Amino acid sequence: MSTAKNIVLGVTGSIAAYKAADLTSQLAKQGCEVRVVLTADALRFITAVPFQTLSRHPVVTDLYDEVDEWQPTHIKLADEADLLLIAPATANTIAKLAHGIANDALSCIALALNPRARILVAPAMNGKMWLHPATQQNVATLRSRGVGFIGPEEGLLSCGYEGLGRLWPVDKVAERAMELLRERRPAKRRG
């Protein structure tokens, strides 16, 4: 039986999506089993090939991607995950998570995630989108449910603006992910 930690890495439609390939590599080098899920918008920025090569696992790009088993892929990944890491996370994905919208593989995994799994979100978007009251309310909602956030950081954004919205440095995201995997998840109270 493997003692490797299982990470589902969700990559969403941000220009920073290419940085998630390095994140995959760093996590795999630390002994994690990394299963990558690319949203349709992420595929506009990067292909599945580098993720499949670096993780040594098939990449999920559609809710209906199936493996050779009876269980739907999104449920299998949700059941096995020790950590759901979404990097980069767009405002759209954060809103879906906050409101329980499950209309693609990544959002279905998030909604079906086993209760012992941790969630870490690394936002990347235009600064005005990050600071918008709707996004901030969605972040507050997720934090109240125990979701962790890392970033965003300030700097030159791909839109040409300077401000808050850049993906946190990949090595720091990997470091935080490993810290969460080492921490014990407190037991949830019932009723």
Return the active site residues: 159
The answer for residues whose C-beta is within 8 angstroms of residue 80's C-beta and 6 or more apart is: 6, 114
Which residues face 28 on adjacent strands? none
Query: Could you tell me the CA-to-CA distances from 4 to 7, 21, 27, 85, 123 in Å, in that order?
Result: 9, 19, 11, 16, 26
Q: CA dihedral defined by 101, 106, 109, 115, rounded to 10 degrees?
A: -90
C-alpha 187/C-alpha 191 separation (Å) is 13
Using an 8 Å Cβ cutoff, are 136 and 165 in contact?
no
Nearest Cα residue to 10 out of 67, 84, 64: 84
